[in-house]
Amino acid sequence: MRPARRIARVLAALSLAVGLTTCATNPATGGHMLSLISEPQEIAMGREADASIIAQMGLVPDTALQRYVSDLGLRLARASERPNLPWTFRVVDDPIINAFALPGGYIYVSRGILAHFNSEAELASVLGHEIGHVTARHSVQQLSKQQLAQIGVGVAQIAAPRLGQVLGIATQGLELLFLKFGRDDENQADQLGLRYMRRGGYDSREMVKVYVMLERVSAASGGGRLPDWQSTHPNPVDRQQRINSAVAALPPDSLGTLVRRPEYLQRVDGIVFGNNPRDGYFKETRFYHPDLRFRVTFPAGWKTFNTRQVVAAQPTEEDAQILLTAGPGATPDSAANAFFGNEAVRGQPQRQQINGLPAVSGSFTAQTQSGQTIAGAAAFISHGGLVYEIIGMATQAAWSQRQAAITSTLQSFGSLTDAAILAVQPFRLDVIRVDRDATLTDFARRYPGPVSVSALAVMNNVDSTATLPRNSFAKRVVGTPLP
């Protein structure tokens, strides 16, 4: 997590303008389409959601990398059918393999997907694909359908948080943004992506390698856990062949020649790989936050979540929940007053020290919007210039059973002083020029790191029995496991 204002911000993503019906011609495909949303509205919608994406996911703090992706994206987008949109390309600080587009030309790739590409042409193919979703107005069409379904029904309900749904709301907000496209839209985005790659001079055959990579990632994670980009991008079995035959049908001299593998790998050399423990990490039930220098212990057996804005825990029965957030500009007293001052909340908070830190805490009962009564305990703790808000709650029936675990979590918050934990560093990519032919196993032996040979195979997009040729570039991961 990072210090932020409260999680209610997620709801900002849901405040979508409802427009008037307009009939329009699809800019990329030339077909007719029904859209509720004009282009200025589309742009406004994207701009608003962009702020929410930045708040929720954060951007990779590397201006050179951001500029590299942005320059490439802009070059491709300006040669598209909608060159005048306010095209914006961002690298989000997310280890998950992901890429997505918002209406109006806002396009995102995660640092996770960048770590898995092996050439600039592969990056261009995914940027081209996402540009295609925008130029063909897929997301606008999708939003129009969702808006139709939601007008007068969904939004009001979603905006009323109920016990057990706080995380659900966050998820719903994200799903609305990470639009799921149908197979036809995906194929069209691939076709448009190929078109934009070609216009940029890139070798279109590199697009297939992205799907090969996604398949490897999927296979390596047991096939069950698809990477996000794949799960939000339906992946029919024939997708690779479809692209291959599309490429084969193109005039050979129009394919483009740019691959730029070494150039790309140098750009991603040193980027953070996997979760960044500086943003907090769990070791069993204990949560450590090296940057914010605190620790807290959650109940044993509960599912835990660490997002940028909230750390949360929930038992499998889902009858209780603990939420930890942090924000500046308050004192424990003012934060507690704001919470207990809510007319739906009853309770008497008291000042106390929690592990030597100034705090205000107390138990409460609250009435939810749906009329349900919940019980809980809340603590507001001052530490390092921030006020931490820990709220544990349960259904009234479950409270007697959950109370001890929740109270114990509230009382476990304290300063983090363990030097080894304070010093943890994320894993990073390290690009090596191979000085002689080496099998992947040889390579792993000569350039050791914390990840397995099969993980190296996935990120280099080769079989684990492959030989890396002399003078080629290959990726490894460097870093030490967490204490």
CB 334 within 8 A of CB 346: no
User: Nearer Cβ to Zn ion, position 122 or 186?
Assistant: 186
Measured from the CB atom, the residue of 98 and 409 that comes closer to Zn ion is 98
Residue positions counted in the chain: 483
Q: In Å, how far from its chain's centre is CA 19?
A: 28
Stretch that binds Zn ion, among 6-14, 228-236, 308-316, 423-431 (CB under 5 A): 228-236
Kindly state whether residue 36 participates in binding Zn ion, applying the rule CB under 5 A. Answer: no
Identify which range of 16-24, 232-240, 321-329, 354-362 contacts Zn ion by CB under 5 A.
232-240
Alpha-carbon gap, residue 330 to 341, rounded angstroms: 15
Return the amino acid letter for 271.
I
CB of 239 vs Zn ion, minimal distance in Å: 11
Instruction: Rule CB under 5 A: say whether 189 interacts with Zn ion.
Output: yes
Q: Which helix (H) or strand (E) holds 388?
A: strand 386-395
Binding residue for Zn ion (CB under 5 A) from 233, 239, 383, 475? 233
Name the residue nearer to Zn ion (CB basis): 190 or 279. Answer: 190
Select the span of 188-196, 198-206, 263-271, 415-423 touching Zn ion (CB under 5 A): 188-196
* 186 or 203: CB nearest Zn ion: 186
Nearer to Zn ion, 188 or 464 (CB): 188
User: With binding defined as CB under 5 A, does residue 243 bind Zn ion?
Assistant: no
What are the start-end ranges of the E strands in 300-341? Answer: 303-306, 311-314, 320-327
Report how far Cα 440 is from the mean position of its chain's Cα atoms: 30
Nearer to Zn ion, 186 or 228 (CB): 186
Asked whether 126 and 210 are in contact (CB, 8 A), the reply is: yes
**Total of residues contacting Zn ion (CB under 5 A):** 3
Q: Which is nearer to Zn ion, 233 or 289 (CB)?
A: 233
Q: How far is the CB of 242 from Zn ion (least distance, A)?
A: 14
Q: Which is nearer to Zn ion, 137 or 233 (CB)?
A: 233
> Which residue has 């279109």 as its token pair?
204
Tell me how far, at minimum, the Cβ of 193 lies from Zn ion, in Å.
9
| Residue 128: CB minimum distance to Zn ion, A | 11
Main-chain dihedrals φ then ψ at residue 337, nearest 5 degrees: -60, -40
Q: Which residues contact 482 (CB under 8 A, 6 or more apart)?
A: 277, 281, 283, 424
| Phi and psi torsions of 60, nearest 5° | -65, 125
User: In this chain, which stretch among 152-160, 225-233, 300-308, 310-318 interacts with Zn ion, using CB under 5 A?
Assistant: 225-233
Assess contact for 167 and 302: CB atoms under 8 A.
no
Q: What angle do CA 426, 52, 119 make, to 5 degrees?
A: 50
Q: Does 107 bind Zn ion (CB under 5 A)?
A: no
Binding part of the chain for Zn ion, among 50-58, 193-201, 227-235, 471-479 by CB under 5 A, reads: 227-235
Our finding on whether 138 is near Zn ion (CB under 5 A) is no
Name which of 96 and 422 has its Cβ closer to Zn ion: 96
- Distance of alpha carbon 263 from alpha carbon 423, whole angstroms: 32
For residue 31, what are the contacts with CB-CB under 8 A and spacing of at least 6?
Answer: 25
To the nearest whole angstrom, how small is the minimum distance from the Cβ of residue 130 to Zn ion?
A: 7
Give SS3 for 103. Answer: coil
Question: How far is it, in rounded angstroms, from Cα 416 to Cα 92?
Answer: 28
Q: Please report, for residues 100, 203, 265, the alpha-carbon distance to residue 111 in angstroms, rounded to integers and kept in the order given.
A: 13, 23, 13
Tell me if 90 contacts Zn ion by CB under 5 A: no
Q: Closest separation between CB of residue 113 and Zn ion, Å?
A: 12
Minimum distance of Zn ion from residue 117's CB (angstroms): 16
Q: Which residues of this chain interact with Zn ion, rule CB under 5 A?
A: 186, 189, 233
